[in-house]
Amino acid sequence: MLERGRSGLTRIFKAGGPTEASAKWKTKVAAVALVGVSTIAAACSSSSNNPTTTAAAKATSTTAGSNPLTALENYVPSSSNVALGETGSSLLYPMFNIWVPLFNKQWSNYQITTASTGSGTGISSAANGTVQIGASDAYLSQSQTTATPGLMNIPLVISAQMINYNIPGLSSSTNLKLSGAVLSKIYQGTITNWNDPAIAALNPGVTLPSLTIVPLHRSDGSGDTFLFSTLLTDTDANGWGTKVGEGTTVTWPTVPGALAENGNGGMVSGCKATPGCVAYIGISYLSQTQGSLGEAQVQNKAGNFELPTQTAIAAEAASFASSTPASGAISLIYGPASGGYPIINYEYAIVNKTQSSPTVAQGIKSFLAWCMDSQGGATASNLSQVGFQPLPPSAIAVGANLLSQITG
């Protein structure tokens, strides 16, 4: 387990291996008080995750012309040390805990610390220079880019968000169908019981209990809140869209019994402990929800209901593949794909263009390029552990261009 929302859990990685120890602005096509911390003496593994494979060997199979990341994977020489700090998204945190020990296997002169603090903190920490890398499920708002003009959102991988629930007695083989409009009414307190006619109409043949719905939401500034509130805005523009809107933090409508939880870990543990709950949880926590929480099929823009399978996530991502703008900022929520899952996103590294030294700039560029590279951190075996998918080539090109702008 990577994070426990109420008590916290720390995982520490060292060279020998792992040890347990808002933003309302968005564009469609143009364009946690409790902290889990990992301290990582990070060095880079080879592109194949085999420490015996060298960067030179990689260059023979992938040229700079065919892979824009190759030229950026110019690692800081072993004679120099580089210290990088990362904090933010609890959804992306498990991925960093896979990436960094692999990166650790060859480049031990990189000293990297990571923390699960929520996307809001990731963005603000990168903006004020507390860390070099902020992790976020949300791209930067217009006000944030205006306040910190040098701040960039660099897409790293593709993720998704689950809608989970705790309904005792409901068969584990049943995946309830829910729509964004129904979820909007639940979170506004106008649908309060699991046997409500609106839910029953989406689930013919399913016996729904008379059980009070307990909506869970994040207490911290959260990219997951940004994703979820964007879905509600897109599917209920005249309701949620005008009354609440989207952001990493929102003013939640007053709903009797509603609970606020810290981090994705808190959403998991809170929902498990609360019969009747409904919660939005990042897909990197799938292993913690399986067998204990139900998972909804969510209605997409075409009217179909989908689970966040790899096929459905890929279909949704493909519908946006050619639309990623030069800034990297784009909503992937509620896209047009007939078989697409409607809550997916780019996971972002929030980085300032100007760093404290050339060595730090080189360290950031090489590490993040490795994370994005299908021969480095973005192998299928790595990403599948947390349900993520690699960027399409067009988004890789955007990310590589943004990385190239980092100087020190």
pLDDT (tens digit, 9 = 90+) per residue, 249-289? 999 999 999 999 999 999 999 999 999 999 999 999 999 99
Beta strands in 206-324 (DSSP E): 214-218, 259-261, 277-282, 294-295, 297-299, 305-306
Summarize pLDDT for 354-392 with one digit per residue, the tens. 999 999 999 999 999 999 999 999 999 999 999 999 999
- What is the arithmetic mean of pLDDT over 242-255? 97
CA separation for the pair 2, 104 (Å, rounded):
19
* Cross-strand bridge partners of residue 298: 178, 306
Per-residue confidence at 10, pLDDT binned at 50, 70, 90? Answer: very low
CB 223 within 8 A of CB 91: yes
pLDDT of residue 322: 86
Pure H helices in 148-196: 180-188
Per-residue confidence at 166, pLDDT binned at 50, 70, 90? Answer: very high
pLDDT of residue 106: 82
CA separation for the pair 199, 195 (Å, rounded):
7
Summarize pLDDT for 101-152 with one digit per residue, the tens. 999 888 899 999 999 999 999 999 999 999 999 999 999 999 999 999 999 9
- Class of domain 12-159+348-404 (CATH, top level): alpha beta
Summarize pLDDT for 40-92 with one digit per residue, the tens. 333 333 333 333 333 333 433 333 457 999 999 999 998 899 999 999 999 99
pLDDT at position 243 over 80: yes
Report whether CATH 3.90.180.10 matches the domain 161-318: no
The CATH 3.40.190.10 domain(s) of the chain lie at 12-159+348-404, 161-318
pLDDT at position 334 over 50: yes
Q: What is the pTM of this model?
A: 0.85
249 DSSP 8-state letter:
S
pLDDT of residue 63: 37
Of 63, 41, 65, 61, the residue nearest 53 (C-alpha): 61
pLDDT of residue 268: 98
CB 29 within 8 A of CB 293: no
Query: Which residue's entry shows tokens 């629930």?
Result: 165
Pure H helices in 236-341: 240-243, 263-272, 286-289, 310-318
CA 216 to chain centre: 18
